[in-house]
């Protein structure tokens, strides 16, 4: 994800990074060339009555805009739900780290408490890697024991196995007399919340918007854009290519944005900043355990992947 403070209105007109314009440029250039060809053959088109009444595009454009609005709303709902789940992940891991201090008041348990918090951090990173289908080995190896890291190598659902290990930690603390029954229930409640978060993220990641919606919208947008020159060639003349590209940019960009937001856990520029959120969760858990944190990236403009 790209995060950047908004500049003034004039600079934003020429913003490149973070917009979908770079990936749209080849399509817009193709449409520009096609529009120029249509204008060049304007006499032939008018002579054979091959132009189209612009009023048709007005009516059709309204319907297309409504369809695009629906598509973007659905995609943004998925994006925002993913963000809420990761916000809940921050809250619940903080609660568990705090409980490991407040409910186990024992200085001789510091090493095991650190193990618990490292398991929480490993859980966060493993969830990020599972959602992105990336390798979690580096993060897992630095946070858990070598034997447990080797066990996780062949595991597909690493966050769930880490949840089991967190539950075993709580059970061991109970057996050792460090927790009473009510305190154990408090831990279990938050561990269940983590399980719900994993399920919610998996639901978003594994259930895309029905493919037929994407195909229908994609075809409609491009057919509409490539028919536009035949509607405006008579009235606009050589202004037609520039007007068509501007109109097409609006429609095509909305479709591209919806495609990016549909999977909020991906690696595209406008997906969720999972790297930064994971690092933030790690830092806050380390501070709760009185450890030194890793500085965040505080630059004015930076990429998050």
C-beta separation of 252 from 28 below 8 A: yes
Q: Which residues contact 197 (CB under 8 A, 6 or more apart)?
A: 85, 86, 88, 89, 92, 127
Reading the block at residue 58, the tokens are 């007005």
Torsion of CA 240, 33, 261, 59, to 10 degrees: 30
CA distance 109 to 114: 9
Domains in the chain: boundaries: 19-290
Which ranges constitute the DSSP H helices of the chain? Answer: 9-12, 21-40, 42-47, 54-102, 110-132, 137-143, 146-153, 158-175, 181-206, 211-236, 240-262, 274-288
Nearest-angstrom CA–CA distance, 162 and 115? 12
Each of the 305 residues of the chain gets a pLDDT tens digit; together they read 556 666 666 677 777 776 788 888 999 999 999 999 999 998 888 888 887 888 888 888 888 888 889 899 999 999 999 999 999 999 999 999 999 999 987 777 888 999 999 999 999 999 999 999 999 999 999 999 999 999 999 899 999 999 999 999 999 999 998 898 999 999 999 999 999 999 999 999 999 888 888 888 889 999 999 999 998 888 888 999 999 999 999 999 998 888 888 999 998 888 899 999 999 999 999 999 888 776 665 443 333 33
Distance CA 55, CA 64 (A): 14
Q: Virtual CA dihedral for 260, 266, 272, 277, nearest 10 degrees?
A: -170
């Amino acid at each position: 994800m790209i995060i950047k403070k908004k500049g003034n209105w004039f600079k934003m007109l020429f913003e490149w990074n973070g917009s979908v314009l770079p990936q749209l440029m080849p399509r817009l250039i193709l449409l520009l060339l096609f529009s120029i060809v249509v204008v060049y053959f304007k006499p032939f088109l008018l002579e054979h009555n091959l132009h189209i009444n612009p009023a048709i595009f007005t009516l059709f454009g309204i319907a297309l805009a409504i369809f695009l609005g629906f598509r973007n709303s659905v995609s943004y709902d998925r994006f925002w739900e993913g963000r809420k789940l990761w916000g809940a992940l921050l809250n619940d891991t903080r609660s568990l780290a705090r409980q490991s201090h407040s409910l186990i008041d024992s200085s001789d348990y510091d090493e095991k408490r650190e193990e618990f918090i490292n398991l929480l951090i490993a859980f966060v990173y493993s969830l990020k890697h599972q959602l992105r289908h990336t390798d979690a080995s580096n993060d897992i190896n630095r946070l858990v024991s070598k034997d447990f890291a080797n066990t996780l190598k062949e595991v597909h659902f690493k966050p769930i196995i880490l949840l089991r290990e967190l539950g075993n930690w709580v059970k061991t603390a109970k057996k050792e007399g460090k927790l009473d029954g009510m305190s154990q229930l408090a831990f279990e409640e938050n561990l269940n919340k983590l399980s719900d978060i994993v399920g919610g993220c998996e639901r978003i990641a594994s259930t895309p918007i029905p493919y037929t919606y994407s195909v229908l919208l994609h075809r409609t947008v491009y057919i509409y854009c490539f028919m536009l020159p035949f509607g405006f060639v008579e009235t606009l003349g050589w202004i037609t290519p520039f007007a068509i590209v501007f109109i097409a940019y609006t429609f095509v960009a909305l479709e591209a944005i919806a495609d990016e937001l549909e999977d909020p856990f991906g690696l595209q520029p406008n997906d969720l900043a999972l790297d930064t959120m994971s690092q933030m969760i790690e830092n806050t858990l380390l501070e709760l355990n009185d450890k030194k944190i890793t500085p965040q990236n505080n630059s004015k403009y930076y990429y998050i992947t």
